Amino acid sequence: MNNYTPTKKEFYIAIGAMALGLLFFTVLLIVVLNKIALFKKESANILATTLGIEETYLIRKKMADWRREIDTLNSFFVEKEGEVVFIEKLETVAKNTGVKIEINSIQIGKKETGIDFIENLELKVRFEGEWSAVAKFLSALENMPHAISIYGSRIDLIGGLLWKGEADLFVLKFKN
């Protein structure tokens, strides 16, 4: 049998090596734990940034959807200083339906709408044509892509197949 007993010097060297090993292990453990904490923090920041990008994308998408809806709603109103363009559209509808029209009066903003950026465009229109053409004309007016209301319409037979009528048109428009 081998009965080796270490000397004091060897004993202290072994304890010192063990202490150094333990110290080295502790330092490495602290460094690794700090790296893990840093990684978690950076991951959270990246996740938050990613969520921010996704939220920004969703907001931009909603804004684009709203823009389309706003544009659709705006198309129902006569544009600022767009009275002439609207009257030209009205004359085109009359021509396409075979009706002769005459605009007797135009008034802007006579009646309040209750909305500070919208006003009424009032037109008094006389029209004449065959019954089917007059009916098509009135139907086409109602189906125009504008917020238009027809009030006080009166249609009379003037002889043969010709009918003559008058109507008050109220169209919403943006204030100038």
pLDDT tens digit sequence for 29-69: 788 888 887 887 887 777 667 667 777 778 888 888 888 88
Average pLDDT of every residue of the chain? 83
Contact 99, 168 (CB under 8 A): no
Measured over the CA atoms of residue 20, residue 26, residue 27 and residue 32, the dihedral's sign is positive
Integer-rounded Cα Rg, in Å, for the chain is 42
Is the pLDDT reported for residue 126 higher than 90? yes
Is the pLDDT reported for residue 4 higher than 70? yes
Q: Which two tokens stand for residue 76?
A: 């129902």
Q: Which two tokens stand for residue 116?
A: 């500070």
pLDDT of res. 91 = 93
Amino acid (one-letter) located at 83: E
Note the pLDDT tens digit of each residue in 58-101: 888 888 888 888 888 878 888 888 888 889 999 999 999 999 99
Q: CATH homologous superfamily of domain 83-174?
A: Ribosomal protein S6/Translation elongation factor EF1B (3.30.70.60)
Q: Which two tokens stand for residue 145?
A: 């892509």
Q: Which residues pair with 122 in a beta bridge?
A: 107, 170
Is the pLDDT reported for residue 144 higher than 90? no
Helix (H) or strand (E) holding 140: helix 131-142
pLDDT of res. 1 = 58
Q: Which residue has the higher pLDDT, 34 or 4?
A: 34
Can you give the residue ranges of every domain in the chain? Answer: 1-74, 83-174
**What is the C-alpha separation between 14 and 21, in angstroms, rounded?**
10
